[in-house]
A and B are shown apart, each in its own frame.
Chain A
Amino acid sequence: MSEVRSNLRWRLTALSVLVPLVAVAMFLIWQDYQSRRDQMMANLELKSAQINAQLEDFVNSTESVARVFADAFIRDRTDPVGSFAAERGSPVQANPYLTELLAVHPGRYDRIAIASPDGMILALSASFVAGSKLPDETFAAKLRTANGFTVSDVFTPLDGVEPNVMFAYPMRGSGGAPLAWVILKSPLTVISGSLDMTTGFPDSAKSGIFDSTGHVLAGTGHEAPHPGLIVGKDISASAVWRQASLYPTEPWFGPGLDDVQRAIFFGYPKKTPWITTVGFAQAELFGPLWNRVYIFSGGLLLSILGALVLAEFTGRRERRAWELVSSERQTLSAVIAGATDGILVLDSDGRVLHRNRRFGECFDFDPILGATTERRFPDQLRAAGTLSEADEHRVLGALAGSDVAVAAVTVKRLHARDLQLTAYPIRAADGEVTGRTLVARDVTDENRVRRMKSEFVAHASHQLRTPLTGILTSSELLLGAPGNEPATHARWLNVVHSQALRMRSTINTLLNLSQLESGWIGVDRRAFDAADLAGQVIETLTAAGSEHRFEIDFSPEARGVLADADKIIEVLQNLLDNAVKYSPAGSRISVRGRCSAGSKVVVEVRDQGVGIRRDDIKLLFSPYERASAEDRGLASGTGLGLYIVKSLIELHGGEVWVDSELGVGTSFFFSLDHADPHQHAVPAATTPAMAGRL
């Protein structure tokens, strides 16, 4: 259980470290990405503005050139339009003047023409004439509606050589109305060649120019001319164009014309009908991002591996420690559970950590284990109420101190129980008391035995005092009294003798008891006739002067018993002595024998004496316990006879019991093994050795 909890704790610890670590790293990487992206977009915007400015410069300078040309025409010719029209040959021939003008800006504009306000071509440079295509009606229609400098759509391709751009500038007369158009044509390569894509930009940067219908006009930048390679291509179906049309001011991330993921910024240069873009591959943006992610992931992986190795290492140590603790705990539990004393372990707040079953038996309540303060042992003890208030104080006082404390209390129950308590402090390594143990030893039996032993000693000495008094006093009479006759002497000597015999009998009983208790007595079983044996014992009693009427009544099958005859003689002597002692002279005392179930013979010794009180019966067979002195009359005998009877019969595997009625009589019963029928005839094996016995 604890191992599972330990593993779980490890996982939670690892998670609690890893999750914030990953989160922080991701956040930093994302922050970095965002700032790089912002930086890149700013660069894109700046670059777009630069390119657009360059384009505008080009357009503006073209306008200036056209104005210069127009001014020259008006200055050089009083009727420039008319004169150009007049110079126009048929078929159209190159105008030498225009060809000459064109030479002023070699390379930048490759053609020049003059058109009427309604778009009719009035004059052409030589290069125009050589071209395969002249400005057509579409171009003428644009000129008719235009009202100033205009940049025409791209002619793509005009002459099969390269795309180019037409510029038209109005020559105006003094009234302000256009007299004619000066038309300049410039190859797109010249325009795009004037754009600077490389300064301060990554290698992957590109720029493009598209016309308003979605055709590629020019491209530049890295691996240029791109998208110049596809100049004239219709890209109106592409994602780039859709983005440019739908969100003309939004920067965009997506596949460029070359299908490479790019960040793109769209621009609209003034005075142009076209759109420019600048962009570069997103690898520029994501490359460092992924590098960071890879580096971080690698670092994280290494950290996790390291942590796992560390965890395994410490886990093993922890497991070993746990196993050690667990084993010690099991040992402790076994020791506590198996102890014959009651054991209770409390923490410093008095909560119950351990207790064994024996403790519950001692205190007559089972303390509840628990970590809550409601389960403090003192409260539980008070609630149980098995101790008097004073004893409760003793227990709690022993638990309150910080040293070893002892207390003796008595548990109040039907049969009071004496407990000897010892409280020990549990100390931590620094000596601080972290709890208490309370060991409870049930000393009820010890106390009872001690009390009984002391009573027994008093009793035994009492048994010797009476005959000793007889001996003392009668010997005094013998020694000192004047006028005693020989007959009187004999009488007192007899007293001395009989009292001495009585003392010997008492001493024999004590020795018997000591032998029985030490287990030295062996049993020599033989089959004999129990009725005969009873007869022999009765004979000795009548010989000693007993005036009772004795009867022997054995059924024929009950006569044979298997036992140690010497021991049974002692049993019968004890029982018959008692019967004689506690029944009036002349009354009947009978010894009966009957077979019972289980191959047993039950022998009954019945008298017509005073009887025994019910309460005293259960004490009859206890050693040292005296039956009520008033009625059983301990004036003679040791009171141990019945205990000896019981012990001897039990040595034979039999039982002893008693049935009595006050004033009517008492029957003592004992059971013995039934002997084989063939052995019935065997006479009692042992001659009763009465002398020196009870």
Chain B
Amino acid sequence: MTLPSILVIDDNEDLREIIRTFCEIAGYPVRVAADGDVGLIEIEAFRPDVVLVDLLMPGKDGFAVLQSLRTDYQHVRPRRVIAISALTDRVTVSRLRALEVDAVLPKPFSLSELRSLLTEPQHAGG
């Protein structure tokens, strides 16, 4: 069984690298992007199965990426879209639901949480 490919979009270099390392160690094909614009280009080129997108970023942020995936980039929408969020308020949660996010990874998270999120059956996502 082939592991799903993963794209990480996060402006925080440390977190980006940690997730990338974790994925590599776990055997996931993984690529990273430092902002939303690059992230969308990567999605189109790399066609990942899963995208992990941080919400708060300078420039094109996570919300804008999620919005694009519902419109201009719908044809390349990954199978799973996971939002990494430090915001847990009700407004943000409902906004994410409206953007059809499959799952939310709330900060602060641990790698074991990330692992279980990646390995859980897809239908349980979101």
**B-binding residues in A (CB < 8 A):** 458, 461-462, 465-466, 468-474, 476-477, 480-483, 492, 495, 498-499, 581-582, 610, 629-636
Contact = CB atoms under 8 A, between A and B. Distances in A.
Contacts of A633: 11, 56-59, 61
A635 B58 CA distance: 7
Contacts of A474: 14, 18
A495 B89 CA distance: 28
A458 B64 contact: no
- CB-based closest 9 A-B pairs: A633-B58, A465-B107, A468-B108, A465-B86, A462-B86, A469-B108, A476-B111, A635-B56, A469-B107
Contacts of A472: 108-111
Interface in B70-99: 86-89
A477 B56 contact: no
Interface of B: 11-12, 14-15, 17-19, 21-22, 25, 54, 56-59, 61, 63-64, 86-89, 106-112, 114
Given A472-B110, A495-B14, A630-B61, 19 more contacts: A461-B86, A465-B106, A466-B107, A473-B19, A476-B111, A481-B21, A481-B25, A482-B25, A492-B18, A581-B58, A610-B58, A629-B56, A629-B61, A630-B63, A631-B58, A633-B11, A633-B57, A635-B57, A636-B12
Contacts of B110: 472-473, 476
A265 to B, nearest CB: 119
B12 A466 contact: yes
A630 B109 contact: no
B6 to A, nearest CB: 15
B114 to A, nearest CB: 8
Contacts of A480: 111
Interface SS of chain A = helix
Nearest to B92: A458
A586 to B, nearest CB: 16
A66 to B, nearest CB: 149
B86 A473 contact: no
Given A476-B110, A629-B56, A635-B57, A470 B14 contact: yes
A477 B21 contact: yes
A682 to B, nearest CB: 40
Contact of A498 (B11, B14, B58, B59): B14
15 contacts: A458-B87, A465-B107, A469-B109, A470-B12, A470-B18, A472-B108, A472-B109, A472-B110, A476-B110, A481-B21, A492-B18, A495-B18, A499-B14, A630-B64, A635-B56
Given A458-B89, A499-B14, A634 B108 contact: no
Contact of B12 (A581, A610, A629, A635): A635
A525 to B, nearest CB: 37
Contact of B22 (A469, A477, A635): A477
Contact of B109 (A462, A473, A477, A499): A473
A492 B25 CA distance: 15
B15 A635 contact: no
Contacts of B18: 470, 473-474, 477, 492, 495
Contacts of A468: 107-108
A635 B11 contact: yes
A212 to B, nearest CB: 134
Nearest to A481: B25
Contacts of B112: 476
B58 A582 contact: yes
Contacts of A465: 86, 106-108
A652 B58 CA distance: 33
A327 B67 CA distance: 69
A451 B27 CA distance: 45
A495 B108 CA distance: 15
A470 B12 CA distance: 9
A632 B87 CA distance: 16
Q: Which of B11, B63, B87 has the most CB of A within 10 A?
A: B87
A356 B87 CA distance: 45
A143 B57 CA distance: 163
Contacts of A498: 14
A634 B56 contact: yes
Contact of B15 (A458, A462, A466): A466
A175 to B, nearest CB: 159
Nearest to A632: B58
A468 B106 CA distance: 12
A350 to B, nearest CB: 42
Contacts of A630: 61, 63-64
A581 B59 CA distance: 12
B86 A477 contact: no
B15 A469 contact: yes
Nearest to A581: B58
B108 A462 contact: no
Contacts of B57: 633, 635
Contacts of B64: 630
A629 B17 CA distance: 24
Contacts of A631: 58
Q: Which of A465, A480, A483, A631 has the most CB of B within 10 A?
A: A465
Nearest to B13: A495
Q: Which of A476, A582, A631 has the most CB of B within 10 A?
A: A476
A634 B112 CA distance: 27
A629 B54 CA distance: 13
Contacts of B61: 629-630, 633
A462 B92 CA distance: 13
Nearest to A630: B61
Nearest to B114: A473
A341 B21 CA distance: 61
B82 to A, nearest CB: 14
Contacts of A470: 12, 14-15, 18
A470 to B, nearest CB: 5
A616 to B, nearest CB: 14
